Amino acid sequence: MTGAIVLGRDLTGDQVLVVDAVVVGTGAGGSIALRELARAGLDVVALEEGPYLTPRDFNQREDEMIPRLFQDAGGRATEDLGIRVLQGRGVGGSTIHNTNLCKRTPDAILELWARKYGVAGASAADLQAAFETIERDLSVSEIPAALRNANNDVLRAGCEALGWRGAQLHHNRNGCQQSGFCELGCAYDAKQNALKVVLPQALEAGARVYADVEAVRIVHDGARVVGVHAVARDADGGPRGAVNVWAKVVVLAASAVGSAALARRSGLPDPNQQLGRGLRMHPGAAVAGRFDRDIRGWRGIPQSFECTEHLSHEEGSDERVWIVPAFAHPVGSAATLPGFGAAHMAAMRAYPRLAVMTAVVHDETRGEVDVDGEGNPIVRYVMSERDRGQLAKGLVACARLLLAAGALEVTIPAIPRVRVTRASELDGLDTSALRPHSVPLTAVHPMGTLRMGEDPKISVVRSTGEHHQLRGLFVADGSLFPTSIGVPPQISIYAFAQHLAPHIIERAR
Ligand SMILES: Cc1cc2nc3c(=O)[nH]c(=O)nc-3n(C[C@H](O)[C@H](O)[C@H](O)COP(=O)(O)OP(=O)(O)OC[C@H]3O[C@@H](n4cnc5c(N)ncnc54)[C@H](O)[C@@H]3O)c2cc1C
Ligand code: SF4
């Protein structure tokens, strides 16, 4: 049997589907759940609220691609507007525009989950097979040093000069043309992601994907799931018709924001008030260094080197910052660089000579996903003082790295702006203003809103991924993680979906 991609915008009239299982979302977690269910011979469909786009659509223009590829047209933010939250929307989810970094869940994190959060059967040894499958399927490899662009080389040079821990990263690309447009989707089809690799395998095994179809409510009777009510939408977002899917199994894979929002608006049983709580996001902010030579950071693979000098995965550590290069496209840079008028123009004139690093916090803050009166997600996240301290430490560390690599001047875009030309100026710097609402913060890794574990008092789903109270409802995305993981999450999400798939299949049979 060969499956198909059905476009909601082409559907006429209401639809009723009766299947074994329905997956909501087609990103890292959803694509794997869909593939494994289909490969097990089950009748399975995925509902994806976003459009079906292919490399021909990825035209490398910020103004067109950001609204098409990102949730809320790129405008999603925390409720207090302190942190911009970037997430994908479309067939392939956030794997379409992500920067392809691949790291396994650290052992220390898996041990913490077993010890403190009651997660069973998810040790490094238990997950080994799933990680191997995913890394093979997505062609994960170390990024060759020859493909390290000048921006990343600044980070390497800074680490070397300071004697700080740094390393080349791994990725899932094949045939990369080093265009530098990863965050707008790859026009060269070099990304080995859900869209290119996993979903075609799912279709080949007979799965169907409904694009432009938003899951509105999980249907249940309080003890087990029955299906999903969804709505097909036109290209302009207007409703086109209902899509009602009846199934024994529903898999939530709409991301840590989307899955939690859907769960909340569906009135799932939540006796211990755990639903949507525990949100972590890896918030981060950028620091720019001006050099006397061209860096042209927009060219080439955006991120290929990391600094882990200030990153520990031990619980309660005071070293929780991951540093990577983060060069923005021109519009993004213009929006972030401080200043107005002539001062801003001068800053943009220096754009080719800028190197930019980002400090990403392996966060402890527990945020929440709620819904407003119309069912839209509200992302509530107020950074704790400890995490704020980590952010400040990370921004200062970025400044030191840039200066050590030869930057003439370094700017931390805060209010008031911090501008230094010598490392000694960073000693004893007052960092109290380095906080949300002063520093532009972005988070691209939401996690933890439907946490796994054996204790229903502190989790939403079991270690098998199945809801504690609702038989047949599974979670297979970043919502599962009991804490922040302190590394880019896609490989962990793909691998957890792979690891949990046998439980989902068993229930759907
Ligand atoms: C700019 C950027 C760069 C990143 N770089 C990296 C990186 O280099 N390495 C890494 O490991 N991670 C990276 N990430 C994060 C990574 O891509 C995500 O963590 C991962 O894809 C999340 O997987 P998921 O399955 O939880 O959700 P997603 O991949 O986000 O998929 C969720 C899907 O569900 C759909 N959906 C939501 N609600 C509904 C609904 N009600 N009905 C139907 N469909 C719905 C969404 O449209 C979306 O397509 C990056 C993210 C961003 C934004
Ligand atoms: S840098 Fe490589 S993977 Fe990224 S968009 Fe360009 S060709 Fe694609």
pLDDT in tens, the chain (509 residues): 578 999 999 999 999 999 999 999 999 999 999 999 999 999 999 999 999 999 999 999 999 999 999 999 999 999 999 999 999 999 999 999 999 999 999 999 999 999 999 999 999 999 999 999 999 999 999 999 999 999 999 999 999 999 999 999 999 999 999 999 999 999 999 999 999 999 999 999 999 999 999 999 999 999 999 999 999 999 888 999 999 999 999 999 999 999 999 999 999 999 999 999 999 999 999 999 999 999 999 999 999 999 999 999 999 999 999 999 998 888 888 877 777 898 888 888 899 999 999 999 999 999 999 999 999 999 999 999 999 999 999 999 999 999 999 999 999 988 888 999 999 999 989 999 999 999 999 999 999 999 999 999 999 999 999 999 999 999 999 999 999 999 999 999 999 999 999 999 999 99
Q: CA–CA separation, 313 vs 143, rounded Å?
A: 23
> Under a CB-based contact definition with an 8 Å cutoff, are residues 443 and 393 in contact?
no
Q: Would you say the pTM of this structure is higher than 0.85?
A: yes
Q: Where are the domains of the chain?
A: 4-71+87-141+189-278+447-508, 142-182+279-443
CATH number for region 4-71+87-141+189-278+447-508 = 3.50.50.60
Ligand 1 atom having least distance to the Cα of 479: 26
Ligand 1 centroid–CA 191 distance in Å is 15
CATH number for region 142-182+279-443 = 3.30.410
- Judge if the beta carbon of residue 218 lies within 6 A of ligand 1: no
Query: Are 4-71+87-141+189-278+447-508 and 142-182+279-443 in the same CATH fold?
Result: no
Ligand 2 atom having least distance to the Cα of 300: 1
Mutational pocket test of ligand 2: of 60, 96, 301, 490, the residue with most ligand atoms within 8 Å of the beta carbon: 301
Ligand 1 centroid–CA 445 distance in Å is 8
Q: CA–CA separation, 287 vs 327, rounded Å?
A: 10
Q: Residue 66 half-sphere exposure, CB side, CA atoms within 13 Å?
A: 14
Residues 6 or more apart whose Cβ sits within 8 Å of residue 34: 23, 26, 44, 46, 198, 199, 202, 207, 209
Catalytic residues: 445
Ligand 1 centroid–CA 94 distance in Å is 3
- φ/ψ of residue 356, rounded to 5: -130, 135
